[in-house]
Amino acid sequence: MTTTSSVLAAQATDFPRWYQDVIAKAELAENGPVRGTMVVRPYGYGIWELLQGAMDRRIKAAGAANAYFPLLIPENYLRREAEHVEGFSPELAVVTVAGGKELEEPLVVRPTSETIIGEYLAKWVQSYRDLPLLLNQWANVVRWELRPRLFLRTTEFLWQEGHTAHATAADARAYATKILYDVYRDVMVNVLAIPVVAGRKTRRERFAGAVNTMTLEAMTGDGKALQMGTSHELGQNFARAFDIGYLSSAGQRELAWTTSWGSSTRMLGGLIMVHGDDAGLRVPPAVAPVQVVVLAVKDTVLEAAQRIADELIAAGVRVVVDNRTDQPFGRRAVNWELKGVPIRVELGPRDLAGEVATVVRRVHNTKSPVALSDLTTTITSALTADQSHLLTSATTSQHARISAVTTVAEAIEAAADGWAAVPYDAVGESGEDQLAESGITIRCLQREDGTLPTEDNEPGLTAFVARSY
Amino acid sequence: MTTTSSVLAAQATDFPRWYQDVIAKAELAENGPVRGTMVVRPYGYGIWELLQGAMDRRIKAAGAANAYFPLLIPENYLRREAEHVEGFSPELAVVTVAGGKELEEPLVVRPTSETIIGEYLAKWVQSYRDLPLLLNQWANVVRWELRPRLFLRTTEFLWQEGHTAHATAADARAYATKILYDVYRDVMVNVLAIPVVAGRKTRRERFAGAVNTMTLEAMTGDGKALQMGTSHELGQNFARAFDIGYLSSAGQRELAWTTSWGSSTRMLGGLIMVHGDDAGLRVPPAVAPVQVVVLAVKDTVLEAAQRIADELIAAGVRVVVDNRTDQPFGRRAVNWELKGVPIRVELGPRDLAGEVATVVRRVHNTKSPVALSDLTTTITSALTADQSHLLTSATTSQHARISAVTTVAEAIEAAADGWAAVPYDAVGESGEDQLAESGITIRCLQREDGTLPTEDNEPGLTAFVARSY
């Protein structure tokens, strides 16, 4: 909420400040009254809705069904899985009074729902025929944050959390991996235009209660890493704690294997940090609530502006007409640029007389006159091209900023301004401690061929090392 | 969660028990671990998603944009509007500990968001140009319930809550009324197939902090009333409490006028109670997650069953193939009947040989053979017809169970088994007390022509009087 200037901080000078400025000036979000909470404003929420739709369709295609579990969890549920409670205890918000009375047992505001969903999986899974049981929920969760940052780390955030039960470890692993690739990576790459590196977390970075955490990591404009989504194999930890068992086809009682996986409003932070530039946001067309704004320069062109919009809307484009001709044109144009609307169609009386409009593409900042008769075709193909341009350009910068190094010392140096790819054999758990002292983490481990290791101690792994948000 | 019998309680014998049974056996929802909370299972949530989509499209068409505000509200916010805090205090859940520490100020888990949204409306509304400001959010809310009942009254529920600010009282009233009719009534009547009576609440039944509450009331299968959605004029109460003001075009500072309006998962309770019968649920096709189930009698027809399903899916129908041929056919059929799936297509080897399938329509419980070549056409038109049949039939029973009476005593008698329509002049506030002693309330007030009064004390109003859920 800067009031001193209408310009953003420069990315190169102060990236975190630029990030804050963009969020405020593009009217994406604001701080809530309680420290660390967030108000998502309509423009930010509009992006979230499109992202959510894309994610939800893929989750359903992967066979999971949506359900809804309660926000308030009896405190004793969390205690049933030792690592889980240890990991989450410092972050809990606790309801102790309700209906005017002190509660006998405090209730935790869900920080994640493995425990409460585990309780119901145990009821619903009886026989091998009930497996796999594949659930997802869209919900808010609360984790008390010490260093909150809008979208990236907020005390309350919106997310989806999937929870599944399987008959075998192999089936659980296959499903958690499918979610990572076919749902999360597909959305991030093909909808958000964000290239992500897939890998396995080290034990230190694993989800509390998991036997394996798989992650997708994006590179921000300042060369740091951002965890965009994770998928966990929970082994039989929660199955044991909540007694999720089943009768096998051989009539034997067996413990199930469970998974959980989540992606959140944090992805919007990724979108801003990956695609934004010094002029503001650049929203990929696939999640742009406004793909095209038609800017009427003067009142006399309003009718023509509306006709252009109608034709685009009929072609399935999301369009807004900016008819605020009583306000300075330059200020309006800058505002839409800030908001990262992919295409501006500027229409003045002279354009109209010449039967053209000026098309400005946010992604390249190019400006060119286009005949009104070609406008819809030009724009629909520009939207497709600009979506893929954002991905290509983010991929190129990501590759350019990953340095292949061979020692921990070199990795620390490289992480000052990008990521390092270093042989995990040269790091190990002691090297990981050393990195941590410099505020650097192993983001994930990958095999040489880019696939995911199934064990921490496989030889020949590459560690991606970076500072992170 | 009865285990003694596979049958439902009869509606006529014990309607509340029938309601519980249907919810459990159709796998719509279960009780959560904390008293009054609810787990919405995939089948119930699937109906909710379709209902939510229908509602959301209409809310957007009415010009409101979605946003998201924090769950946790500083306690002092609620205290700023005297009636509001008085109304909600007994129902609040309060977070007193977070991040391992006692909080300096307790945080209320939102029971509704007028206060926190009011705080932001005050920031965002500066000039008359910013008005009207039309917001909506989809969210969970928590109200401590003494007598919880799944869907109808749960400690946590899902809803949408709209919050708007306007320059004039007339504009606020017009918008709140538009939401009541064009959004809520339209969804209830044309999507849920539930006839509703629109009216104004008496002062006694008004939302805490409102100057006018408008309501839509449905009649349940046992002749009671169920409030399905409300739209409130808040006057300047919240504008005053949160200082929501604006500069008029004349350059004068004015207070805004606000509205709020909500509809929730309670509507699913309405759907069950209005359309259900002794055989279970009857889901209106418009919100049926499964509109058609194709039941394969034997393995030999599986391929043909899938072909039928594919053709229906291509025609835009939501279809499931029941291929569990290792389970008794009768039990499967009863299960789909219980779940209220609008159409069952039963396909056995003999049917297939005769190039027909048996079509069972849940709404009428009719069973007839249909040539495979006509199946898709027959089914798509049956879905349309059955949607409108449910509405007609619910409307007919509603009309039949409203008795026109002239005294409070007669109203009490009529409310034993239906609703009473009684001149409000014959009731008044003292009559309302008398009704309350018999557990009966005035559901709403209407003018003779069916429109909504703008004042409580207009002469010639009709009071709809009933027991309610």
* pLDDT tens column, B417-428: 999 999 999 998
The per-residue pLDDT for B414 is 96
CB contact under 8 A, B32 and A100: no
pLDDT digits 0-9 by tens, B164-181: 999 999 999 999 999 999
Backbone φ, ψ for residue A322 (5° rounding): -95, 100
- With contacts defined as CB-CB under 8 Å, which chain A residues touch B98? 92-94, 144
Q: Is the pLDDT of residue A37 over 60?
A: yes
CB contact under 8 A, B67 and A40: yes
Distance from CA of A117 to the nearest CA of B (A): 9
Write the burial class of residue A331 (CB in 10 Å: 0-12 exposed, 13-18 middle, 19+ buried).
Answer: exposed
User: Which residue in A38, A90, A146 is closest to B70 by CB distance?
Assistant: A38
Contacts (Cβ under 8 Å, ≥6 apart) of B445 = B199, B200, B201, B202, B424, B453, B456, B461, B462, B463, B464
pLDDT over 90 percentage in chain A: 96
Of the listed ranges A106-110, B5-9, B117-121, B379-383, the one predicted with least confidence: B5-9
Distance CA A1, CA B75 (A): 25
Nearest residue in chain A measured CA to CA from B72: A34
pLDDT digits 0-9 by tens, A163-208: 999 999 999 999 999 999 999 999 999 999 999 999 999 999 999 9
CB contact under 8 A, B33 and A92: no
CB contact under 8 A, B96 and A99: no
**CB proximity A34 to B under 8 Å:** yes
CB contact under 8 A, B109 and A37: no
Helix axes A266-275 and A15-25, enclosed angle (nearest 10): 110
- For an interface test with B, which of A28, A39, A108 has the most B Cβ atoms less than 10 Å from its Cβ? A39
Give the mean pLDDT of A317-332: 96
Other C-beta atoms within 10 Å of B6: how many? 11
Alpha-carbon torsion A120, A125, A130, A134, what sign? positive
**CB proximity B107 to A under 8 Å:** yes
**Whole-prediction pTM:** 0.97
CB contact under 8 A, A37 and B92: no
- For an interface test with A, which of B69, B73, B78, B264 has the most A Cβ atoms less than 10 Å from its Cβ? B69
Nearest residue in chain A measured CA to CA from B145: A99
Q: Is the pLDDT of residue A351 over 70?
A: yes
C-alpha separations of B217 from B27, B100, B178, B204 in Å = 26, 45, 17, 16
Can you read off the two tokens belonging to residue B247?
């500069």
Q: Is the pLDDT of residue B3 over 60?
A: no
CB-based contact A387:A324 (threshold 8 Å): no
The per-residue pLDDT for B468 is 97
Question: Which residue blocks in B302-348 are alpha helix, DSSP H?
Answer: 302-314, 329-338
Q: Please report which confidence band the pLDDT of residue B63 belongs to, taking 50, 70 and 90 as the band edges.
A: very high
**CB proximity B116 to A under 8 Å:** yes
Q: Which of B163, B172, B120, B116 is nearest to B138 (CA)?
A: B163
Half-sphere exposure of A81 (CA within 13 A, CB side): 26
Q: Please report which confidence band the pLDDT of residue A2 belongs to, taking 50, 70 and 90 as the band edges.
A: very low
pLDDT, averaged across chain B: 96
Residue A59, amino acid: I
Give the mean pLDDT of A242-269: 98
User: Which residue in B39, B49, B142 is closest to A66 by CB distance?
Assistant: B49
The per-residue pLDDT for B6 is 54
User: Which residue in B71, B97, B158 is closest to A68 by CB distance?
Assistant: B158
CB-based contact A64:A164 (threshold 8 Å): yes
**CB proximity A45 to B under 8 Å:** yes
For chain B, give the number of residues: 469
Give the mean pLDDT of B194-216: 97
- For an interface test with A, which of B34, B119, B136, B332 has the most A Cβ atoms less than 10 Å from its Cβ? B34
The per-residue pLDDT for B456 is 83
**CB proximity A41 to B under 8 Å:** yes
Distance CA A183, CA B228 (A): 37
Distance CA A179, CA A185 (A): 8
User: Which residue in B34, B49, B68 is closest to A107 by CB distance?
Assistant: B34
CB-based contact A175:A424 (threshold 8 Å): no
Give the mean pLDDT of B197-213: 96
Residues 150-189 of A with CB under 8 A from B: 155-156, 158
Task: Walk me through the domains of chain A, giving residue ranges and CATH numbers.
Answer: 15-275 (3.30.930.10), 290-382 (3.40.50.800), 403-466 (3.30.110)
The per-residue pLDDT for A1 is 32
Distance CA B322, CA B314 (A): 18
Can you read off the two tokens belonging to residue A181?
């690739």
Each residue of A141-162: b (16+ CB within 10 Å) or e? Answer: bbbbbeebbbbbbbbbbbbbbb
Q: Which of A404, A463, A461, A383 is nearest to A431 (CA)?
A: A463
CB-based contact B465:B435 (threshold 8 Å): yes
Helix (H, G, I), strand (E, B) or coil at B187: helix
Q: Is the pLDDT of residue B5 over 80?
A: no
The per-residue pLDDT for B216 is 98
Per 3-state DSSP, what percentage of chain A is helix, strand, and coil (rounded to 5)? 40, 30, 30
Distance CA B239, CA B247 (A): 14
CB contact under 8 A, A32 and B106: no
Half-sphere exposure of B418 (CA within 13 A, CB side): 14
**CB proximity B98 to A under 8 Å:** yes
pLDDT digits 0-9 by tens, B220-232: 999 999 999 999 9
pLDDT digits 0-9 by tens, B246-276: 999 999 999 999 999 999 999 999 999 999 9
Can you read off the two tokens belonging to residue A251?
């009539």
Q: Is the pLDDT of residue A3 over 80?
A: no
Give the mean pLDDT of A340-356: 97
pLDDT over 90 percentage in chain B: 96
pLDDT over 70 percentage in chain A: 99
Write the burial class of residue A439 (CB in 10 Å: 0-12 exposed, 13-18 middle, 19+ buried).
Answer: exposed
- Give kind and range of the element (H or E) at residue A428: helix A428-437
Nearest residue in chain B measured CA to CA from A157: B70
pLDDT digits 0-9 by tens, A358-404: 999 999 989 999 999 999 999 999 999 999 999 999 999 999 999 99
Contacts (Cβ under 8 Å, ≥6 apart) of A53 = none
Nearest residue in chain A measured CA to CA from B91: A99
For chain A, give the number of residues: 469
The per-residue pLDDT for A6 is 54
Nearest residue in chain A measured CA to CA from B154: A70
The per-residue pLDDT for A149 is 97
Give the mean pLDDT of B317-335: 96
- With contacts defined as CB-CB under 8 Å, which chain B residues touch A158? 68
Q: Please report which confidence band the pLDDT of residue B7 belongs to, taking 50, 70 and 90 as the band edges.
A: confident
**CB proximity B92 to A under 8 Å:** yes
Q: Is the pLDDT of residue B404 over 90?
A: yes
